[in-house]
Each structure stands twice: as structure tokens, then as C-alpha cells.
């Protein structure tokens, strides 16, 4: 099982690292050189978990920690998009796909955390590790000559790095793409809804379920809250806490069911034009600014903007189906 570390893992994580120090010459520390105390280990884990661009992933099997991948994010603005990796798996658990699983989980985490680049160093004669890193998309970017001295011998290290171009720069996590999608929906959604009669837009498919009119009203409420979020994250303390709102209550209290569909759509269009404008003018270096979710996880501004589009399209599909609309069982975070 691959999971994020918790403070209760401190003793097991310290034991794991000491085992790795003992059984391999590929790690930084020699046997018995690691002087970390249990209290220091707990503090370090707590610090990591509070940092939006750092984490420790652990592999757990047979009731013990058998491997880890530590992600150490940059501490200054110009390096916050980048992270250094340290990885180790116990020899007896090698060749079981644990290393691959750790890297795959790291990439999922990086997509939510605004990390655009990861890097590591590896001894040039550590061929199994180099093979794994290449398989996971890392490239050799340079060599550190006489970087380490192991058993009295000079050892070179490779610099290896990976840039998440597909996920961050050109693909689904790209802010520019998100803005284009939002502007397209500002044009398409009113045209899609204008063919529906007022009776059709007011029809509730079941008790306590939203009508198409109310679901567009809910999308207005989502726009109101996310517009504030997209503004606040730029000037409030980072990470910005993502505060939820009572979605069903808002729909009821806004009385969308008693408002014409034309007015509700006009409100939605106006709000989303403003959101697109705000997103467009956010400096690129702030795209990775962080939101703290209620479950203790962190996501980037880019990720939240993408999630906003996903939430919009989720409800548009409900109108198209038609499906039972509204209610917490259908709802997403946005």
C-alpha cells in the first residue's frame, strides 16, 4: 500500500531509514551515521505535512514500512514549482513494483500541488535505480564529478530531472487552457439552454432535486464563491484555506426557481466573464499558489480552476441527460 506518511509513522520511518543506511551503499548516510532522534523525526514529518509543495510517501507491506519517496519542495518563490526527491526501498522488497508505485503516486500528488519539475541525484554506477528513473520519464541532465566518497573511492552522480509538460504546461493543468474552456462555455451554455421552455427549466425530476433552472442557479453560487477564492488566494496568507458553503441552502435562499431562466443565465454569464478576466490577469508565478482543503490536502490555484470547469461540465451533463439533479450525493467540491 502506498500512502502519505503520518506523524504516527515517525518510529517506523526512522527504523526504515536506518535499515536502508545499513544495507545499501547508495544512500547518503553510512551505517550508524544518522543521528536523528524520534522527537526530531516527528517534528520533521509534521513540518513536511504542513508544506504545500513537500510530502513523504511510504510503502507499507507485511505490517511495516518497506520504502519511501520524500518530496522536498523549494522554499523561495522561484523554486516553489520544483522539488527534490529522495527514494529508497528495502532490498528484500525489491523487484516488486514498489519503486514504480511510489513514483506513480508522487506524480498524482504533484498534479494537485502545483509541482512542475522534480529532480534527483543518483550514483552513476547505480544502474537499477537509473533504469527505474528513466522508465518513469527522468532524463540525465548532467554529472557531479567526485560528488561523494564511498569506501574511500570517489563516486560521480548524475543529475536527473523530469518536467510535467503534459500535466502542467500543455495539458489539463494549464491555466490558459482553462480560461479558453470557460470562455467557450460562456458562449455555448446560453445557446444550449435557450431551446428549453420555461416549464422544462422549472421541472424538478424528484422531490428535493434541483430543476435545470436551479442547477444553473447553483452554478451561479459556485461562481460567486470561486470568484472570491481566485482573488483571495493572490493576497491572503499562503496556503489559503478553502472554506465550503451550504450549497442546497444557497439554491433555496436565492429563489432561483421563482426567477426566469433568462435572468439566471444572464447572472451566470456575467459572473463567469468576470472569473475569466480575473484568471487571465493572475501572474503566471502565482498559478501554483496553494489552497488547503478540509481533509488536510493541498491543491494549486491551477488545479482549482480546472476543477471549477469539471464541476461546471458535471452539471451540464445532468441537464443534457436528464438525470436527477442536485443534492449532496451528486455534488463535487466546487
Digit-coded pLDDT (tens) for 308-332: 999 999 999 888 765 444 444 344 5
Q: Are strands 117-123 and 82-89 parallel, antiparallel or unpaired?
A: parallel
Grid coordinates representing 278 are: 480575473
Residue 120 confidence (pLDDT)? 96
pLDDT at residue number 197: 92
pLDDT at 3: 94
Q: Report H helices in 197-294.
A: 198-202, 212-232, 247-254, 261-280
pLDDT-flagged residues of the chain (< 70): 165-173, 294-296, 321-334
Contact call for residues 109 and 71 (beta carbons, < 8 A): yes
Integer Cα distance of 4 and 210 in angstroms: 37
- What is the per-residue pLDDT across 92-122, written as a single tens digit (0 to 9) for each? 999 999 999 999 999 888 877 778 899 999 9
Q: Which residues contact 61 (CB under 8 A, 6 or more apart)?
A: 1, 93, 98
DSSP structure string for 128-177: HHHHHHHHTT-EEEEEEEEEEEETTEEEEEEEEEEE-IIIIISSTT-HHH
pLDDT of residue 295: 63
Residue 109 pLDDT:
86
Amino acid at each position: 500500500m502506498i500512502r502519505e506518511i503520518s506523524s504516527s509513522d515517525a518510529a517506523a520511518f526512522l527504523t526504515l531509514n536506518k535499515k536502508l543506511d545499513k544495507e545499501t551503499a547508495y544512500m547518503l548516510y553510512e551505517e550508524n551515521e544518522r543521528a536523528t532522534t524520534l522527537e526530531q523525526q516527528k517534528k520533521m514529518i509534521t513540518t513536511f505535512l504542513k508544506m504545500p509543495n513537500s510530502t513523504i510517501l511510504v510503502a507499507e507491506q507485511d505490517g511495516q514500512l518497506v520504502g519511501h519517496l520524500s518530496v522536498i519542495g523549494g522554499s523561495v518563490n522561484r523554486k516553489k514549482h520544483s522539488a527534490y526527491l529522495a527514494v529508497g526501498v528495502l532490498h528484500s522488497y525489491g523487484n516488486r513494483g514498489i519503486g514504480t508505485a511510489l513514483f506513480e503516486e508522487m506524480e498524482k500528488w504533484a498534479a494537485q500541488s502545483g509541482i512542475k519539475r522534480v529532480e534527483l541525484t543518483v550514483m552513476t554506477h547505480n544502474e537499477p535505480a537509473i533504469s527505474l528513473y528513466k522508465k518513469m520519464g527522468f532524463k540525465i541532465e548532467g554529472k557531479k564529478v567526485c560528488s561523494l566518497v564511498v569506501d574511500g573511492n570517489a563516486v560521480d552522480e548524475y543529475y536527473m530531472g523530469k518536467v510535467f509538460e503534459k500535466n502542467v504546461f500543455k495539458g489539463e493543468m494549464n491555466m490558459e487552457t482553462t480560461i479558453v474552456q470557460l470562455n467557450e462555455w460562456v458562449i455555448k451554455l446560453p445557446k444550449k439552454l435557450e431551446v428549453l421552455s420555461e416549464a422544462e427549466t422549472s421541472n424538478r425530476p424528484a422531490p428535493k432535486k434541483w430543476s435545470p433552472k436551479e442547477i444553473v442557479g447553483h452554478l451561479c453560487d459556485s461562481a460567486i464563491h470561486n470568484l472570491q477564492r481566485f482573488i483571495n488566494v493572490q493576497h491572503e496568507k499562503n496556503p489559503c484555506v478553502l472554506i465550503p458553503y451550504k450549497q442546497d441552502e444557497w439554491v433555496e435562499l436565492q429563489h432561483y426557481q421563482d426567477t426566469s431562466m433568462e435572468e439566471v443565465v444572464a447572472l451566470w454569464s456575467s459572473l463567469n466573464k468576470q472569473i475569466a478576466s480575473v484568471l487571465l490577469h493572475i501572474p503566471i508565478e502565482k498559478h501554483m499558489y496553494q489552497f488547503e482543503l478540509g481533509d488536510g490536502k493541498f491543491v494549486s490555484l491551477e488545479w482549482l480552476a480546472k476543477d471549477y470547469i469539471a464541476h461546471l461540465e458535471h452539471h451540464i451533463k445532468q441537464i443534457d441527460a436528464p438525470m436527477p439533479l442536485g443534492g449532496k450525493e451528486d455534488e463535487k467540491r466546487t
